[in-house]
Structure 1
Amino acid sequence: MAKVKYYYDEDTLSYRKITVRKSQYYKKSVFGLFAIFLIAFIGFIVFSQFIMSPNERAQARELENLKLHYELLTKRMEESGAILAQLQERDNNIYRTYFEANPIPEEQRKAGFGGVNRYKSLEGFDNSTMITNLTKEIDVLSKQLVVQSKSLDEIVVLAKEKEKMLAAIPAILPVKLEDLTRMASGYKWRMHPILKIRKFHKGMDFTAPVGTPIYASGNGTVIRAERSATFGKVVYIDHGYGYKTIYAHMSMIKAKKNQNVKRGDLIGYVGNTGRSVSAHLHYEVHKNDRALNPINFYYGDLTPEEFAAMQKAAEEEGQSYD
C-alpha cells in the first residue's frame, strides 16, 4: 500500500493531502528509467575496458611474446654485426693486405638499397615502424654478409695462387753450396774475359767442376733447351708470374723443351761451353723481361751468414767468366 503524503498549508493552518497527477507520475517514471539505462550503459563501457574476452587475452599474450622475441632478435643482430665488423677489419687489414689485394671500400660494404620503397607492404599496421626497422637491419646485414662471403672466396683463390707463386719464384741456388768452388762473379759492371771491354754482367757466375749437377731454382716450364754461340748449352725456364731463369755454359743438358720442372729438379751439369773461359754456371733471373740481381732470390737456401759471405764475394771487383 502506497504511503499518503501531506503538506502544511499556511493559509488554512492545516495539513492537506498531496495529490499527484498521472501525467507527472508517468513523466518521472520515464526519466527514471532513462537515467537507469544511461548509468548502466556508461558503466558497461567503462567496465568493458578492464575485462577482455579470451581471444583478446590470447592476442595480448601473443603481442607481448612477439615484443620479447623482437628484443632478443635485435640483441643477436647487434652481436652478429659486431662479429662481422671484426671480420671485415681483419679481411681488409690482414688477409687482403697479405695477398696484395685492394681492400673493399666501406661504402661498398655498407651501401643502402635504392629505388622504390621496398618496405611499403609493411606500412599501415600497428607495429609497422618496428617491423620495418627490423627488416631494414636484416637486409643490410644480409648484404654485408654476401659482400664478405665473396671477399673470402677471393681470398681462398688468392691463397691458392699465392702458394703456386711462392713455389714458382726462383728461391734456391742452382748449384748446391757444397759443390761450389767459389762464387766468381756477381751482378754488376765487369770486364769481359774475351771481349776485354767493360760490360754489365746480368747474372752470377758459380765456379764448379765439370759435371756438377744444376737444379731448377723454382717450379716452371722449360721453354728453351739448346746450344748457342754465347751461352753454349743453355736452358731457359719460364716460372710464370713474369719470372724467367737462364742456366748457361752446361756440359750436358738434362731437361727437355716444354718439360714441367719443380724446384730442385736436375736440369743439367756444369760445363765450359759457349763464350766461357772456365768451367762454371752463368745464372740469370728475369722479371718481366728485366734482369734482376739473383742474390736477392736465395732466401730459401742460405743462412744469414752464408748470404752475407756470398754478397761480399759478388761485390768484389774482377772480370767475369763469360
Structure 2
Amino acid sequence: MSKVKYFYDPDTLSYRKIEPKKSRKYRNLTFFLLGSAIFGLLGLIVILNTNILNTPRELSLQREVKNYELQFELLGKKMEQMEQVLANIEDRDNNIYRLYFEANPIPEEQRRAGFGGVNRYKSLEGFNNSEMIIGATKRMDIIQKQMVIQSKSLDEITKLAAEKEKLLAAIPAIQPISNDKLTRMASGYGWRSDPFTKARKMHWGMDFTSPKGTPIYASGDGKVTRADNNSSGYGKHIRIDHGYGYVSLYGHLSNYNVKSGQRVKRGDLIGFVGSTGRSEAPHLHYEVWKDGDRINPINFYYGSLTAEEFENMLKYATQENQSLD
C-alpha cells in the first residue's frame, strides 16, 4: 500500500494531504510498463542465447553440428596424410624412376596447378562456413588432380620399364661361344695382318677359334634377317636384327640351326663353327653393328664373362696380330 504524503499549509497552520495528479499516475504506469518490457526483452535475448530453453530438436541439431565438426577435423588430418604420401611418391617418381629411365621430371607447377575458368565453387558460397567448406573442397580437388597426374606418370614409367627390359634383352651382351669350347681368342677388332695378302687391313670383328661343329649362340634377342652364303667373304653366315639399331653377324659357319625370319632369344643355338668363305681355319668371325656402323664387340660381353675372363680377352684382343679371315 502506497504511503500517504502531507505538506504544511502556512495559511491554515496545518498539514494537508497531498493528492497525486492523474497525469503523474499515468506517467509512472507508462514508465513501469516500458521498463518491464525492456527488462523482459533483455531477459528473453539472454535466455534464447543459452541452452536453458533449447528444444529437443535444437539439442539434436547441435549434436549433429558437433559431430560434423569432428568429422571435418578428421577429414583434414586424412587429407594431410594423403598429401604426405603423395609428396613422397612424387619425389621418388621425379628423382628415381624418371631419372633411371631417362624421362624428364614432371614440373612442380604442373603437379600443383589449380583450376582455371569458371568459379567451380559458387554453389558453396553464402553459408556460415562457406570459406572452410570451399577451402577443403579445393584441397580435395588438388589432391585428386595430383593423383591423376601421378597415375599417368606411373603408366608411362611402366611402359618405359617394359621398353628398357626389351632393350636390355636385345643388346648383344654375351660371348657367342662358350669359354669351355673356346680354343683361343685369335684376333680382335682393329688393324690386323691379312692372312692371305699379309697386308695391314681393318678387321671389323672378333675371331674365336674353336673346333668345327662347336655350337654358336645368339648374343641377344632379335630376328634372323639372313642365314645364307650370299655375302662375299663371310661364307655361311647369320645376321640377327636386335632392334634399337643393333645387328650381330656370325661368319664362316659349317651349318645353321635357324632360318631367315625366325625370332631368337639370347643364348639360343643358332649355328655351328666352320671355315666356309674367306677363312684360314675353323673359327667364328663375330661382328656387332650399331646404326649401320661396325663397332668393337668386346664392349658388350658383360653378360657372360667374369672380370678375370674379360681382362684376358681384352689382353689378346688388343694385340695386333694376324686375323683368320
Q: 1:252 to 1:2 in 2, by over 3 A?
A: closer
Where does structure 1 lack aligned partners over 5 or more consecutive residues? none
Residue 206 of structure 1 corresponds to which residue in structure 2? 208
Aligned amino acid, residue 80 of structure 2: E
TM-align CA RMSD: 2.0
1:279 aligns with 2:282: yes
Displacement after TM superposition at 1:23 (Å): 4.5
State the match for 1:299 in structure 2: 302
Tell whether 2:309 aligns with 1:270: no
SS at match of 2:153: helix
1:79 counterpart residue number: 81
1:320 matched to which residue of 2?
323
Q: How many residues align?
A: 322
Residue equivalent to 2:47: 47
Q: CA deviation at 1:287?
A: 1.8
* Residues 28, 232 of structure 1: alpha-carbon distance in 2 compared, 3 angstrom cutoff: same
Report deviation, 1:315: 0.3
Which residue of structure 2 aligns with residue 309 of structure 1?
312
C-alpha distance 33-230 of structure 1, shift in aligned 2 (>3 A): same
Give the match's secondary structure for 2:213. Answer: coil
Instruction: After TM superposition, give the deviation of residue 4 of structure 1 in Å.
Output: 4.6
Q: How far off its partner does 1:136 sit?
A: 1.1
Match of residue 25 from structure 1: 25
- Structure 2: distance between partners of 1:181 and 1:25: 138
Instruction: Write the deviation string for residues 139-192 of structure 1: whole angstroms up to 9, x where unpaired.
Output: 111111111111112222222222222222212111111111110111112222
Cα distance between partner residues in 2 of 1:221 and 1:2: 124
Give TM-score scaled by structure 1 length: 0.92
Q: Please show how residues 64-143 of structure 1 align to structure 2 within 5 Å.
A: 64-143=66-145
Instruction: Give the AA of the match of 2:18.
Output: I
Structure 2, unmatched stretches of 5+, are none
User: What secondary structure, in the 3-state scheme, does the structure 1 residue paired with 2:303 have?
Assistant: coil
Bigger shift: 251-260 or 162-171?
162-171
Match of 1:148 in 2: 150
Alignment correspondent of 1:245? 248
Residue 244 of structure 1: how far off its partner (Å): 0.9
Distance in 2 of aligned mates of 1:22 and 1:105 = 90
Does 197-206 or 275-284 show the bigger shift? Answer: 197-206
Residues 100 and 23 of structure 1: CA distance in aligned 2, closer, same or farther (over 3 Å): closer
Which secondary structure state, in structure 1, belongs to the residue aligned with residue 119 of structure 2?
coil
Structure 2 Cα separation of the partners of residues 269 and 14 of structure 1: 158
| Greater displacement, 44-53 / 253-262 | 44-53
Q: State the secondary structure of the residue aligned to 1:299.
A: helix
Identify if the C-alpha distance between structure 1 residues 104 and 4 changes in structure 2 by more than 3 Å, giving closer, same or farther.
closer
CA deviation digits over 1:3-45, x for unaligned, max 9?
A: 6543222443311122234454344334433332333223222
Specify the SS of the correspondent of 1:263: coil
Counterparts of 1:9 and 1:48, CA distance in 2: 55
Structure-1 separation of matches of 2:2 and 2:157: 104
What secondary structure sits across from 1:82 in the alignment? helix
The alpha carbon displacement at 1:215 in A equals 1.1
Between the aligned partners of 2:282 and 2:82, the Cα distance in structure 1 is 67
